[in-house]
Each structure stands twice: as structure tokens, then as C-alpha cells.
Structure 1
Amino acid sequence: MTEGLRPPLQRTAHAHEPNEDDLEKLKKWQEARLERKLRGEYESAVFNLAELINKNLETPLTVTSVRVDGATNTRGSFLGWLIQPWLARHTDDRASKSNNLQGALYTARGISHILQETDLFHSVHAEIQRSRDHLAKDGDVDIVINTREKGRFYLKSATEFGNNEGSVSLTGRVRNVFGGAELLEGHYSAGTKTRRSFHGLLSLPLSPSLRTTGQISLFSLERDLSTFASCSEISHGLKAAINSDWGAHGVHEVAYQAVLRHINNLAPSASVSIREHAGQTIKSSISHTWTKDTRDDKLAASRGYYGKLFQELAGLSGDVSFYKAEIESQISRRLVPGMSLSLAVRSGILKALSGHSHFSDRFQLGGPLSLRSFRANSLGPRDGVDSLGGDIYWSTGASLVSDIPRKPHWPIKSHIFVNAGRLDAVDGTKGLGENIMGCLRRPSISAGVGLIYRFDPVRVEVNFGVPLFASKSDGVRRGFQVGIGMEFL
């Protein structure tokens, strides 16, 4: 009964308050009011805490020890190996006056970050506490890291599609095998082209910064090559590698590899050239790989660039001796919102140091992943129905990728492409320059349109294209072509 009130009496209800009869609206209004109040109190507390810290950043503090709680499966010596550089940086840098609150906070953050980088912990939280040492002085503090470890064992089965083949696989992984962030992984798969494959890997960190790692792997695979050569190949090998991440300067890998290769299961129609390469060979080689990737998306980049340089020298022992180099580059640029241009280049050369190059070491070119509108591995020298591979190749592609109109959020994109490339055998009677120029003069070229579907972790393309120029020996593919893989030209 407030309608009859007159000054100095008046309504005290807020104009936006809901009617008391509407309980649901009243409840939501109260919840929103409480949320605004709590948010204001939280922001005020954060502001006061930040102000308090900023005013005391120069307060003398010395970190005397670091304790890590919750790391039950991780060796103390390994944790000390990771933490010592950060602790030494804090305690030894007295000239720069880092022995204060600011230095202690920086050290705690650095230690937390390096522990998180090991991929051993679900959570890592750092606290600064008064030192528990009975001989501690004023200003001596401890950094306490509270952690929660991840599970050590992992097992997964999957059906996979990639690089134009399907497979079923089983992957097992043991994390932190010896308590020093070692990773033991085994992967077995059976597929349509790679009939059987096994890969076992043991990796471990080699530097406290975790930027350098060592890897030892054993692998075995059996591939059916009958779609382009009348044979199969079985490989058993060992690889030891050191990987080092140089940040803005890319990632380097130096590796040694020993592989036993066996060309077998020759078809009755196998050519003489394939029969000459049948049997077992042993490759013993060292290699170096450099990669740098700034792309925003590895499967469908709209900006950034990618570069890779691979070099291999074989002949330390075994049956083959050669030098092999391969370079790959891609750059993507956004032209307008929803449309980007991608340019890619690949090239490689194989130089046999004694005799002729072996079939297992040669390059193959052609197919939806390397040169669209051509059959897989169908370019280059041939002997009857068999593609023999080549010693020198190049390929380049340009793709204009755009969103589907009115559906920019869809994972499906459209693209227009132009591809060109060639694969040749090196003519020993000519110089290197002549072989390169001969390979560049007569490219095979294709063009077309298609759809791109990002289906993590692979990319699927459905293209309609036509070969514009092709050699007589090339296996052309006019019309529709489907590609499934992770690396496209």
C-alpha cells in the first residue's frame, strides 16, 4: 500500500527490482547481484595483493632450498638436475640484486614451468614459505612445489586413415620409466599398404632446459608396393638420434640409422629392373634434419611458413653408398578474410657414390599428396608396368583456399590448385647442372578444384582435376581423386 504515499514519504524499491510474485526473476536478480559483489571483492583483493607485491619487490629474500611434493615416481636426482640451474641463477647473481622478492618469484615461476614441460604432472603449484632450516637467517625462504603426477601407463587402439591408406593400430606407452622423464613407446599397426609395422621408441631428456632429447628406436615394417612396382619391401632397422630445439632458429636432429631392406614377393609380371634390385641390402647412414614451422595450422594453414632440410650420407658400412638431400618449403598468406593463398616447393637429389642408386633409396612422385591428378608414385622412369623411382625431382603447387560462403565456421573449405613437377634419373654422362636443367625443362602440370575437410589428425581432399602437360610414361588421373594424409603439396 505505497501508492498513496506523499512526500516526504516515497517508494524505496529499486526501479529494476522484479515483482516479488515472480520468484524465478527474483532468484536470478539476487544471484546476479551476489556475483557482481563477489567479482568486485575478488578484483579488489587481486588489486590489493598486486599493489602489496609491487611495493615489496625489492625486499631482500634468499631462496635456500626447493622442495617438490607429490613426485613419488620421479627421482630426486632428476628433479635436482632440472632445478639447480634456476636456483644457481638466483643465489649466484648477487651483483644484479636478484636476491629479493622479485627474484624469488621469478625463480619459482621458472621452476614451475620447467616441471610442467616434462609432461609428468597434471598440475604444478609453487609457494614461497619461510625457511624451515634452524640456522636460517631473516629473509631466507623455501620454494615449495606441490605436484600431482600423471598416470604412467597408456594403451590405445585405433583405426587410422592417412597417406592414402587405412590401418588398425595398437599403441602402448610407459611414462617416466626410470624416474627421469623417460618415455617408452610401442606402436603396432596392420594396414592396406603397410601390411605390418612395429615401432619401439625410448626417449629421454639430455639437458636441464629439456630442449635437447635423445632417442633410440627399433622399427620393422612390411610394405606392399604392388600399386606402382611389382614387389613388396620388408625393412628392419635401428635409429639413434639427438634432437635439439633452437627456438627461433628451428629444430635440429642428428641421427644414425642401420637398416636391413629386403625386396621380395615379386609378381610374375615384374620387370627386369625390379628383379635386379630384389634381395637384401644393408644401409648404414648418418643424417641431419632441420625444420622450422611458424604456420598457424599444420593441416590448413592461412598464415606462416614451414621449412625443412634433410641430408643423409650412407656408406659407413653396408651395401649402398650415396648422398641424399631434400628440401621442402611452404608459405601461406591471408589475402582477404576467409581466403588465403598457399605456395609450396619440394625438391631432392640422390647421388650414388658407387655404382647405381638402389630402388629403396630413390624418390617417388605423383598422387594426391605430392602431385594431384596423377596416380600415386607414377612419375619418372619406368620399366613396363613398374615405376622405378628417380634420383632428382622437384614439385611446386599453388592453392587458393576459401571458406564455404556463409559457413566460415565449417571445417570444409574449397580450393583451386595448380601443381607442377618432374622426376628423373641422373644421367651419369652429363654434369649435375645439365641434369638439373633437363629436369626443370619438361614439367608435368595439373590444375583443378576441390574440397578440403579437416578431420584431425588428418586432412581429406576430394578434387576434380585434369593433367595439362604430362610425359608419356606418367600415370595420369583425370577427374575425381581423393587424398587422405597430413602433408600435402
Structure 2
Amino acid sequence: MQKQLSKFHYQMYHFHKMEGNYLLQISCDRIQTFKSNIFFQAPQFVPGWKDAKAKVSKIIVEGVGRTKDDIIKKVSQQLYNANSLEEIAVACRNVKQDFLRLNLFRDVEIKLDTAKEKNAPKNSYNVIFNVKEKKRFTGGVNAEVGNNETGIRGKLQLPNTFGRGEVASLDWIYNLVGKDTGGGLRLTKPLGANPDILLTTGYSQYLANYPWSGFKESSKGFTVDLKFPSVFGDHTVAWEGTWRDLRAATRTTSYDVREQAGHSLKSGVKHTFVRDERDDKILPTTGVFIKTSQEFAGLGGNVEFFKNEVELQLNRKLIFDTSIQLSLAGGVMKGLGKEPKILINDKFFLGGPQTLRGFETRGVGPSSEGNSLGGTAYWLAGAHLFSPLPFRLGKGGFGELFRSHAFVNAGNLGEFHTDKTTKENLQQLSDTFRLAFGLGVVLRLGGIARLELNYVFPVRYTKGDK
């Protein structure tokens, strides 16, 4: 049963037999609200109450503070199109969801009352929204432990900043291991009172260290992106203008990295498409995930390239509460201009628990004196089998957070040569592929992350891999 969010308060039902049908009128009672449904608590012996004719006479919103009237009217306007009690209930649910998704309010209660005004039409109702606005400031400080990262992250948000669903946020991070530090300021605004169409502008400034490649990078930049849905999935179109300063991290940094040091200005656009039909983002058991991105840099500045990436994932349930996951990813990029050159901080990298298990972070592909140089083309494939813990340890309790994990993954990273055919480039990437398999345990950390403990056996690797 779905979790009830607000209790149903019963006072009085009035049933009137009109033209052979029963009309349900609700006086001073509350609609029962559920996570995904809002409906009337009507006895089953009252036939046709859902189809009974009804109209909304007045919409009342109580508890409004800084939220502007125009966006409230725009969201709730759909209630006037309802022609029956069931349509009113559905419209109430949609309005409530939009209020919450637009970050206008933190709590919304709905009441339905018969219209008592003298000039109110017959069979008309007043819809009353009792709302609680969000706090002006929210945020916190969290400790994070991740892939080669241990740090502190802070966030400050101003929900409903200007009263029309805007969210201003300030983020900052400090990595205790790599000494990465930085932050960003963002402002997100829903367009047309639609929570699915978001315009975001931001400024960021970071100092990041990449010890695997022997360099550190200081960056400052602006971004503008527009997110919108389609029948196929979600799209994001973004512009980024960033000044980067790349420096050698240590005295032992290789010459191949040092010769790329200096200032660069990147200005480009990027389109990202995502279709996510998985039942869970952390440990899915069914569903398909598709992600593609195309990036063009060269709208000013001295960085010019075209980059294309794709990621596919298929999840299926098997017998005995097991599931299988198949994944495939790849990318290719090409330098543009009279003297095509792609800097190390724009290239692809492969290796590590988030890409190719069994290898260190950025441990696969071209390298120089121990520094990973990255590549302009890669592919990655994997098969994962998830099952309950052996002997069903902790079944029904804490043990449900754990899953046994067996996997095999393969991939390769190299250079895409424009003077060679596509077949020759693919042949080069397939001849020296890396392969590893392993066993382990996966721990689900709420709905935000997962922790893996794996024992991995690298089967195929080349000289220079880590």
C-alpha cells in the first residue's frame, strides 16, 4: 500500500439522487492524498459518483508568503477545465505535484468544499490549498568518501529565490587527498511555470589536481544550459566558456605533459540526451538507460574539437532474485582548425572502479614516464550479475542492502587517426583490448550511491598499464 501523506478527516457526506445518478457532495472534509494519487473516500455502494458532473467555482491558496500570484494562477488554472469529481481529483493531484516540483512550497494540503456563494453555479466546488513555503535558506556540510577522493562539500540554497520557482545555490568542495578546491554559483529558473523546462546560468572556479597525469589545472568559467523533455527522453543544451591554466604538478612530470602547459580558452556548446527507464538508479534490476552527448568547441578561444560519446545499459531480472546488467560505452573526438591539437585536459581517460575495474584510475592507454596522456577514442563493455548474499544472510533486514556481484569488463583507449580509415582505427582499438573479471559485494547507500568491495583478476593488459 502506498504511504499516506495526510490523514483523511471525515465529517459528512451528502448524497443526492439526481437524474438517475448519485452525486457526492463533500462538506468541510479533506481529500485523501497519497504519494501518487489523490482521490475521494467514497462508499462503493454509491454508483457513478466519479462521473457526476462538477465544476470548480473558486480556487483559494492559503499560507502564501513570497510566492508570486501569477505563477500560482498559471499552475492552478487547469482546475477550471475539470467537468467531474474524478477530473477535479486528478487536477488537484497535478497542481500539487507542480507546486512541489517547482520548489514553491514544501507541503501542500488540499480541501474540497461545496461552493456556498449565492451566485455559484449548481454542482460547483471550491478548492482550497493550504500551503507551507520553503525556508529562505537551506544547506549543509557533508563529508564525502569516493573514488580516490576524501573531502568536505558544502551547499547553500535559496529556494524560490524571487517567488517564481527559482533556486539560487552556492556549492564548494575541498578534497583532503588531492587538495582540490573550488566552488560555483548557479541560478535555475523554470520557464513557463513548467518544472520540466529549466534554464540555468552559473559561474564556477576550481583548482583540480590530476596526479595520474602529472598536472594540475586552475579554471574559471561561465555556463548557460537549457533542459527540456521530449517524447524520446530529456535533452540538455549547454554553452560553456572557460579559461584554463594547466601546470606541471611535480618536477617529475613528463615532457609530453609539460609541453601542453599554459593558458587556454574554451568556448563551446554541448547537447546531452538521456532516456532512463530503469527501476532504480543505484542498483537497477530492470530497464534501459541511454545517454548520448555531442560537444563542439571552437566558438571563440583557442580550443577546437568535436567530441561524441554514447552509453547504453540493459537490466533484466532472472530467477532466484538475481539480475543481469549489460553495458556498452564509447567515444571519439577529433581536433579542428588548421593545426588540429587536443589538449590533455580535454581527452578521454580509462581505468578505475567507475570505468574499467581491475585497473587504477586513468591506468589504461598511452602514457609517458608514468603519466597518463589520455586518448581520442575509447570503448568499454561489461556484464554484471547481481544476486542476494549467500544463504540469504540478513533477509528482510540489513542484509537487503547488500548484493553479491560477479562481473567481467573489457575496453581500450587509444588515438583516433584521421589519416586512417574507420576500419583501421577500430582494428587498432580491438587488437590490444584490456580484460578483467572479478567477484565482490555491493552495498547500497540510500538512494544516492553504492559502495563496492571487489576482488579483480586482470586477464589482458599491456606494458605501461597500472
TM-score range, shorter chain: 0.7 to 0.9
CA contact (8 A) 1:162 1:458 kept: no
Q: Distance in 2 between matches of 1:437 and 1:217?
A: 42
The question of 1:157 aligning with 2:141 is answered yes
Letter in 2 for 1:74: T
**Deviation string for 1:32-66 (max 9, x for gaps)?**
xxxxxxx9x99xx987556558347333x443432
How far did 1:385 drift? 1.7
Match of 2:461 among 451, 459, 470: 470
How far did 1:454 drift?
A: 2.0
Residues 102, 193 of structure 2: 8 Å contact kept: no
For residues 284-312 of structure 1, give each alpha carbon's deviation from its aligned partner in whole angstroms, at most 9, with x where no partner exists. Answer: 11111111222222222222221110110
Aligned positions, number:
423
Q: Secondary structure at the match of 2:195?
A: coil
* TM-aligned CA deviation for residue 198 of structure 1: 0.4
Which of residues 309, 316, 332 in structure 1 aligns to 2:315?
332
Q: Distance in 2 between matches of 1:388 and 1:437?
A: 21
Q: Secondary structure at the match of 1:336?
A: coil
How far off is 1:175 after superposition? 0.6
TM-score w.r.t. the length of structure 2 is 0.84
Using structure 1 for the length normalisation, give the TM-score: 0.80
In the TM superposition, residue 163 of structure 1 has moved relative to its aligned partner by 2.9
CA distance 1:50–1:120, shift in 2 (3 Å): farther
Q: Which amino acid aligns with 1:374?
A: F
**Cα shift at 1:195:** 1.1
- The gaps in structure 2 that reach 5 residues or longer are 1-9, 14-25, 27-39
Q: What's the CA shift for 1:103?
A: 4.0
1:417 aligns with 2:407: yes
Stretch moving more, 314-323 or 461-470: 461-470
Question: In structure 1, how many angstroms separate the alpha carbons of the residues matched to 2:50 and 2:350?
Answer: 65
Matched to 1:426, the amino acid is F
- Write the distance in 1 (CA, Å) between the matches of 2:465 and 2:147: 20
Give, as a single letter, the amino acid of the residue that structure 2 aligns with 1:455: L
Deviates more, 1:144-153 or 1:183-192: 144-153
* 1:201/1:215 contact within 8 Å kept: yes
Question: Against the structure 1 CA distance between its residues 346 and 238, is the aligned structure 2 distance closer, same or farther, given a 3 Å change threshold?
Answer: same
Q: Is 1:295 matched up with 2:295? A: no
In 2, Cα distance between equivalents of 1:103 and 1:428: 60
Give the secondary structure class of the aligned counterpart of 1:54: coil
Q: 1:198 pairs with 163, 183, 186, which one?
A: 183
Which of 309, 317, 320 is the aligned partner of 2:292? Answer: 309
Instruction: Please tell me whether the aligned partners of residues 102 and 194 of structure 2 are also in contact (alpha carbons under 8 angstroms).
Output: no
Q: Which has the higher strand share?
A: 2
Could you tell me how far apart the structure 1 residues matched to 2:403 and 2:196 are?
36
Question: For the residues of structure 1 that align with 2:41 and 2:121, how far apart are their CA atoms?
Answer: 31
Structure 1 outlier segments of 4+, above 6 Å = none
Of 391-400 and 292-301, more deviation after overlay is shown by 292-301
Report the alpha carbon displacement of residue 435 of structure 1 after superposing the two structures with TM. 1.3
Query: Aligned partners of 1:460 and 1:205: how far apart in 2?
Result: 34
| 1:395 match | 380
**Cα distance in 2 between the residues matched to 1:99 and 1:366:** 59
Instruction: Give the residue type in structure 2 aligned to 1:256.
Output: W
Specify the code of the residue in structure 2 equivalent to 1:291.
V
Distance 2:50 2:203 in 1: 55
Preserved CA contact (<8 Å) 2:248 2:258 = no
Measured in 1, the distance between the counterparts of 2:246 and 2:441 equals 37
Which is further off, 457-466 or 374-383? 457-466
Please list, as runs of the form range in 1=range in 2, the aligned pairs for 1:236-255 lying within 5 A after superposition: 236-246=220-230, 249-255=232-238
1 CA distance for matches of 2:205 and 2:329?
27
Show the counterpart of 1:479.
Answer: none
State how 1:295-374 maps to structure 2 within 5 Å: 295-354=278-337, 355-374=340-359
Structure 1's 424 and 133: CA in aligned 2 closer, same or farther, altered over 3 A?
same
Structure 1 residues 105 and 428, CA gap change in structure 2 (3 angstroms): closer
Alignment partner, residue 257 of structure 1:
240
Question: Which residue number corresponds to residue 428 of structure 1?
Answer: 418
- Secondary structure class of the residue paired with 2:345: helix
Partner of 1:80: 73
> Which whole-Å CA distance do the structure 2 matches of 1:364 and 1:280 have between them?
21
Unaligned runs of 5+ in 1: 1-38, 91-97, 476-489
Larger radius of gyration: 1
5 Å-filtered alignment, 1:46-85, equals 49=43, 51-52=45-46, 54-55=48-49, 57-59=51-53, 61-84=54-77
**What is the Cα deviation at residue 112 of structure 1?**
2.7
Given that 1:194 and 1:221 are in contact with CA atoms closer than 8 Å, whether structure 2 keeps it comes out as no
Change (3 A) 1:299 1:104: closer
Give per-residue Cα distances to partners, 1:219-250, cap 9 Å, x unaligned: 12211111x1221111211111111133x622
Task: Output the CA distance in 1 between the equivalents of 2:84 and 2:329.
Answer: 53
Q: Kindly state the Cα deviation for residue 207 of structure 1 after the two structures are TM-superposed.
A: 3.0
Report deviation, 1:283.
Answer: 0.7
Identity of aligned residues (%): 28
**Alignment partner of 2:423: what SS?**
helix
Going by fraction, where is helix more abundant, 1 or 2?
Answer: 1
**1:257-285 CA distances to partner (integer Å, 9 max, x unpaired)?**
11111111442222221111101111111
Once the two structures are TM-superposed, the CA of residue 125 in structure 1 deviates from its matched residue by 2.5
Q: Any idea what SS the aligned residue of 1:110 has?
A: helix
| Distance change (3 Å), C-alpha of 1:336 and 1:56 | closer
